[in-house]
Structure 1
């Protein structure tokens, strides 16, 4: 670990127990305006704090909301990374808000592992003649709180994704050079951690498989990183390389995308494309089709941009496999050139997927980049630079010149928390390395805090570092 990364690691370790540090999810809209009366409207009022913080559960427990978390508009519980005190015991997890107490069962949450971390179930209405319990798939009982609809004002509200934290004044008062040093320490720490993860995979499966799984993870974005990684693990690169003519079909089949429905409902280019895949897939179907003993890969589709649909990302992975002999030389420390590597990834094409968003979509009116320069640059920043920097320290100068990537929802929340506004964030964060540093700080401090900022040590650390 570099001295810079070690400085950040020491600061990080002194703030929270290392066992609690973890990655946060990546989802939150910039603002939310909703119709009164809908479930979204009640969720909006809840998140705005209109119901208050203190409640009594259905079985008489004292419930206090310490931290409202962030509002999840995708699959899974409604509010993530919350902190709730129940009879004085702090619990961290998710909160689900339903219109009716029966919706927990009616919506299938009871059997859905994605709801296993829910620590509080909120609802507004119930059948007083029925007694209902909220339980997870593991049969853990979840405290229930009935909210009083008459206790809040009517009408829709507009809510920012985050509010400024206590660290905002400390950041503003910190000398600019000190803040840049702190940011560099955080960025280097993040890179070092990614490199160590990659090295662990390489030690088990070899470097090529580690690169293969790394590309799959990068193509998965925040919502589908795990499914893409599982796909690359089930179909190792060395195995696919021996079956390149069939590789794309096998990837799509194992991913669960060859169910036959688009063969009859898709447009003519789609039907032709799928017929070609099926001509290969049928020979492997019995061995690899989702189902026992191969658990189906579960994809997250809600909230996913069309260009990031898992089917397009699977196609990109297939093209990487087919182009591996061209790509692999750029991944060696001696030959690595980020500009050439970005240009190569951005140039990869697919005759079908450069005109379609999904197997069910109509043909696009304009060509679509399979990977694109922005995603290619992020692959370099998140995968290649962290791994190669230890052997070529001078690559840091290339890394810090990479422009900022499109702002994710997690970056937007982090920027509002630390800088107070999107305009201030745009002024302060102009390079991709700064985005990575901001995410690391947000993960290590904001996401680990369970006091709604009140007891987070980050502001005091900043103040002491400048004294």
Structure 2
């Protein structure tokens, strides 16, 4: 049989093969043998009446089909007829991998209107931003349940409905703000999708057969906002004024917060806590802040030789005294840490941080918290020298000069004779062990590594030291405030992050042009937090575009 079919296809061609396989009933003007007049239809015994017969167009009659009225319709019909109609009888959609599912969901390929597993009507108001780090897949989304007010939160997408439990989302605090669980495969059991606080999360099962065949993985982190067109139409100077205004507001808010902390803990403790949090980066900011609070600066400085040991001990990095688990090059250093930790261990046992506080998996090796902890220990030990490096706020211009990449340039050569600046202080931090190691258990590096890189120093200057200086005089119009802003606006942008990229995608059509300075980056972040993150109407009710049009 297979041989005969192959022979037919080769001799008659594919169109004749189809015509031979599915014979068409011709129209007759006379009645049939039973006295009934047959209906004039193509292939009534091959396809139902209401189903379009693909063979008509495949067999060469598409150009004569009167139903095709426009080029668009002709192409659509050509595209449809190129697919074998019988495919639905035996074709089972293949489940894409989870990354493709996320991309297609975010692109809107599944639509925006669904029915939950319990029968509730679910409307997606905004898909939010695509989170490519730990936690829910989409943040800052908004949904509407049964025509109610929009609910803002996170959306998680899994292959199976069971994944909510098997992946540990039910007990993970990061999923506490989840408002929707989307999945593809429904198991035989019903699952109560809950958060850690036992709040129910609606579930939606998406249909893969509704997907368009074409797929592009080039999906941005966020959707362009409605404000892109007004921003693009504004002159460059006006956009700069808006960004500067937002940046000044953000700087003032940080200064107010630090001022409050100074009033509570004093200048040195407040500054130490802020720098510690900055050294923790986004992933371990809380852990470093807890360390600085549990081991205050004045307490650490009572026993300078043991500062590093106490920090590593309370951080929970000295849980085993067995030196055999360490590399040969590490054992002597760990022995020194333990020698300093033993006298304080019993008294500080209750202060040791739990292991779950640390987020290590998403951290670059060079930014491992153990390396940053060593830098914090040096900072605490050399605190008087660091305080001297903080020039008088009025002369802050000299305190923030970055050495030029050209060693013969005036700024570089002039900096040699100046008082030690915060930038040079952090850049010159040295440690005989951590300059060549990523962690306590890693192999030594062949190349020397800086304890704190240029981008982290820039972040400390912008987000800690400038607000700290401004906290001395919260009046931004004073001589101090004016001087600070002039120097702050000169800081080059040396660091980007996921939130900044998302903000630029949402708001800024000329992102490269307006993201060259720290001030403009901070201004864009402030606008994103004040407007984009507060909106749950997918830009429809956001007032920012109209306010931008009125800005002078």
- Whether TM-score is above 0.5 comes out as yes
In the alignment, is the contact (CA less than 8 A) between 1:256 and 1:290 conserved in 2?
A: no
Q: 2 CA distance for matches of 1:455 and 1:377?
A: 36
1:248–1:36 distance in 2 versus 1, CA, 3 Å: farther
Q: How does 1:41-440 map to 2 (within 5 A)?
A: 41-87=100-146, 88-128=148-188, 130-153=189-212, 157-260=217-320, 263-289=323-349, 298-331=357-390, 333=393, 336=396, 337-339=399-401, 340-389=421-470, 391=473, 392-393=480-481, 394-420=483-509, 424-440=510-526
C-alpha distance in 2 between matches for 1:335 and 1:419: 34
* 3-state SS, counterpart of residue 92 of structure 1: strand
Provide the rounded CA distance (Å) in 1 between the counterparts of 2:378 and 2:95: 47
CA contact (8 A) 2:141 2:153 kept: yes
2:271–2:468 CA contact under 8 A, matched in 1: no
Assess, with a 3 A threshold, how the Cα gap between structure 1 residues 110 and 44 changes in structure 2: closer, same or farther.
same
Determine the C-alpha separation between the residues in 2 that align with 1:174 and 1:334: 35
Q: Secondary structure at the match of 1:120?
A: strand
Contact in 2 for aligned 1:343/1:373 (Cα 8 Å): no
Distance 2:542 2:322 in 1: 52
The aligned counterpart of 1:8 is none
- For residues 464 and 74 of structure 1, the distance between their equivalents in structure 2, rounded to whole angstroms, comes to 38
Compared CA separation, residues 99 and 439, structure 1 to 2 (3 A): same
Stretches of structure 2 that go unaligned for 5 or more consecutive residues are: 1-93, 402-420, 474-479
Query: Aligned equivalents of 2:124 and 2:237: distance in 1?
Result: 38
Q: Please give the per-residue CA displacement for 1:57-89, whole angstroms capped at 9, x wherever unaligned.
A: 111111111111122222221211111111223
Report the CA distance between 1:273 and its aligned residue: 1.9
CA–CA separation in structure 1 for the residues paired with 2:300 and 2:356: 19
Contact preservation (8 Å) 2:258, 2:467: no
Change (3 A) 1:54 1:287: farther
Cα RMSD (Å) of the superposition?
Answer: 2.2
Which residue of 1 is the match for residue 25 of structure 2?
none
Which deviations, in whole Å up to 9, do the C-alpha atoms of 1:177-220 show, x marking residues without a partner? 32222211111111111011111111111111100111012112
Quote the offset at 1:236 in angstroms. 0.7
Q: Is the 8 A contact 2:128 2:222 kept in 1?
A: no
Deviations 1:322-363 (A, max 9, x none): 111110123353665223211111111212211122223322
1:40-67 CA distance string (max 9 Å, x none): 2222221221111111111111111111
1:448 to 510, 514, 534: 534
Q: Which has the higher contact order (CA 8 A, sep 6+)?
A: 1
Give the Cα separation in 2 of the matches to 1:208 and 1:296.
28
Moved more, 298-307 or 426-435: 298-307
Structure 1: which 5+ residue stretches go unaligned? 1-34
Contact kept, 8 Å, 1:66 with 1:450, in 2: the verdict is yes
In structure 2, distance between residues paired with 1:263 and 1:223? 29
Q: CA deviation at 1:39?
A: 2.0
Q: For the residues of structure 1 that align with 2:117 and 2:178, how far apart are their CA atoms?
A: 16
| Aligned equivalents of 1:81, 1:263: Cα separation in 2 | 47
Q: Distance in 1 between matches of 2:130 and 2:526?
A: 20
Structure 2 length-normalised TM: 0.73
Please tell me whether Structure 1 or Structure 2 has the larger radius of gyration of its CA atoms. 2
Cα 1:156–1:419 change in 2 (3 A) is: closer
Cα distance in 1 for residues equivalent to 2:541 and 2:315: 44
- SS for the counterpart of 1:142 is coil
> 1:100 is paired with a residue of what secondary structure?
coil
**Which deviates the most, 424-433 or 116-125?**
424-433
> Any idea what SS the aligned residue of 2:158 has?
strand
| Farther-moved stretch of structure 1 (37-46 vs 254-263) | 254-263
CA 1:36–1:343: 2 relative to 1, 3 Å = farther
Q: Is the 8 A contact 1:248 1:318 kept in 2?
A: yes
Q: Distance in 2 between matches of 1:125 and 1:38?
A: 13
- CA deviations on 1:143-165 (whole Å, 9 max, x unpaired) are 11112233224666221112322
Q: TM-score w.r.t. structure 1 length?
A: 0.86
Whether contact under 8 Å (1:94, 1:119) holds in the other structure is: yes
Partner Cα distance (2:357, 2:190) in 1: 33
Cα pair distance change 1:357/1:36, threshold 3 Å: farther
Please list the CA deviations of residues 421-465 of structure 1 after superposition, one character each: whole Å capped at 9, or x if unmatched: xxx312222111111111111111112111122221111001012
Equivalent residues of 2:454, 2:494 under 8 A apart = no
Q: How does 1:16-27 map to 2 (within 5 A)?
A: none
